[in-house]
Structure 1
Amino acid sequence: MAVAYAKAPEVKWPGALDQVTSVIKALMANGYQSRSLGLLGDSSGGALAAAAALKLQDTGAAVPGAIVLLSPWADISEAGDTYQTLKNADVRFTYSRVLKPSADAYVDAVNQKSPYVSPVYGKYSQDHPQPLSRAAPKRYF
């Protein structure tokens, strides 16, 4: 099943997060076992999948058994180590010109380091499924 969640700028955070976690909870309420469910996302959708799993964990709900993240935008702030290391690798690709407009459309600046926006800042339990993450050799964010 694919969730057709609302996207920025029409809906700001936590709109999409609430929609995805609601779908997972509804599936479990209708008899699906968490271990038989999975979350998969690419880029900002990868961050959303990771954030949804973290939100489920932190609210005491069961977490899907599989999490697949394809080049997740796991830190939408400009502070990430990988971004800082690679920011000069391509002068056409700057945070202020390319990424910041998308980040600002999704969430207010004060919440950009929330673990439910930038899941790299989350605290994961030992029971949390280990995500499978794939990315290109140079991953800026």
Structure 2
Amino acid sequence: MPSLRSRALSVALIAAGRRRRFASAEAVRSRVAQSARRPASHLPPRRLGRVAEVSRTFVGAWPVYDVSPRGTEPVAQVLYVHGGAYVGELVRPHWAMVRTLVTRARARVVVPAYILAPRGTADRTVPVAADLLSGLIASGGAGGTVLIGDSAGAGLALAAAQRLHERTGARPCRIVLISPWLDVTMSHPDQAGIEAADPVLALPGLREAGRLYAGTLAADDPRVSPLNGSFEGLAPLTVFSGTRDVLSTDSRELVRRARAAGVEVEFHEEAGLPHGYPLLPLPEGQAARDRIVELIRSAAEL
């Protein structure tokens, strides 16, 4: 049973109208237009600099933040790819997760502020993410390299890992996917029933965001919807999902297909929890973050 705090949060999200952002294609287009007029900041919070060394470089047009523990050597490195339906920037919960990975796992965390849709489409974005992952793996550095993504960022992370492995055979130590969005067609027959209980996401807006990200590619192209890509030889997967998430069908299907391809999969599905719960200030979110920290520390020992 979900904790009292998680149940209260879901009620609050519904009352606050969080789903309105995805209630229609028009709502998403309006959000994109507003972002074009007044781009949101992706800068890390200043207080992160109290506990971490933060620097910024550019990979092509992408600002990429490099966040490392202050006063100590990192034991592993993480490529963290943020969510936001491909149309939203890094926000406070993403940076809170980065802080956790730096301070508790003592990891160096590389955070790309990738170009958002509709300017950033899958045909352009996935190759850059794959190159960034390749560079981290090739550099060695401390410990191993763990790839982490949440929501749309999990989709981009998985697509990048698939592309890199198919191209060179390289792979990170582990891939961690949080409430992953892996099929932008939103065509699973169970999603309509789950949508009614989802306090955050709605199908019409997600389909439009997926269309913008697909650009000239078909929505079911593996670069756009990596659920349709190859899982052969991928790194071990850890997947977190809540049942009050219309995207939970993607997680279940991912687990099925990856295991069928011989991939080691650790699956955490929490009953009654909303989209992105491991990023939220909930007891279940804390437990998920604890597990992610353990996985990064384990990677450092490989």
Please report the TM-score for the alignment, with normalisation by the length of structure 1.
0.81
Per the alignment, residue 133 of structure 2 pairs with 24
Per the alignment, residue 12 of structure 1 pairs with 121
Change (3 A) 1:132 1:8: same
For residues 76-91 of structure 1, what are the structure 2 equivalents within 5 Å? 76-89=184-197
SS of residue in 1 equivalent to 2:191: helix
- Consecutive aligned runs of 4 or more in structure 1 exceeding 3 Å deviation: 28-33, 87-90
For residues 36-75 of structure 1, what are the structure 2 equivalents within 5 Å? 36-75=144-183
Give identity over the alignment, percent.
26
Task: Judge conservation of contact 1:17–1:51 (CA < 8 Å) in 2.
Answer: yes
Larger radius of gyration: 2
The CA distance in 2 between the partners of 1:40 and 1:28, in whole Å, is 14
Q: What code does the residue aligned with 1:140 have?
A: V
2:207 maps to 1:100: yes
| Higher share of residues assigned helix | 2
Q: Alpha carbon RMSD of aligned pairs, Å?
A: 2.6
The CA distance in 1 between the partners of 2:172 and 2:139, in whole Å, is 14
Deviations 1:14-40 (A, max 9, x none): 22212111112223443459x811111
Gaps of 5+ in 2: 1-109, 248-302
Q: What code does the residue aligned with 2:243 have?
A: P
The CA distance in 2 between the partners of 1:10 and 1:135, in whole Å, is 29
The CA distance in 2 between the partners of 1:118 and 1:53, in whole Å, is 13
Give the superposition deviation at 1:88: 4.9
Give the superposition deviation at 1:110: 4.9
Change (3 A) 1:93 1:21: closer
Report how many residues are paired. Answer: 138
Task: Judge conservation of contact 1:51–1:115 (CA < 8 Å) in 2.
Answer: yes
Using CA pairs under 8 Å that are at least 6 residues apart, name the structure with larger relative contact order, 1 or 2.
Answer: 1
Change (3 A) 1:56 1:93: closer
Task: Judge conservation of contact 2:158–2:226 (CA < 8 Å) in 1.
Answer: yes
Per the alignment, residue 111 of structure 2 pairs with 2
The CA distance in 2 between the partners of 1:93 and 1:31, in whole Å, is 38
Give the superposition deviation at 1:61: 3.4
Give the superposition deviation at 1:45: 0.2
Please report the TM-score for the alignment, with normalisation by the length of structure 2.
0.41
Give the superposition deviation at 1:104: 1.5
Per the alignment, residue 135 of structure 1 pairs with 241
Task: Judge conservation of contact 1:82–1:139 (CA < 8 Å) in 2.
Answer: no
SS of residue in 2 equivalent to 1:103: helix
Deviations 1:18-77 (A, max 9, x none): 2111112223443459x8111111110011111111111211330111111000111110
Q: What code does the residue aligned with 1:46 have?
A: A
Change (3 A) 1:32 1:61: farther
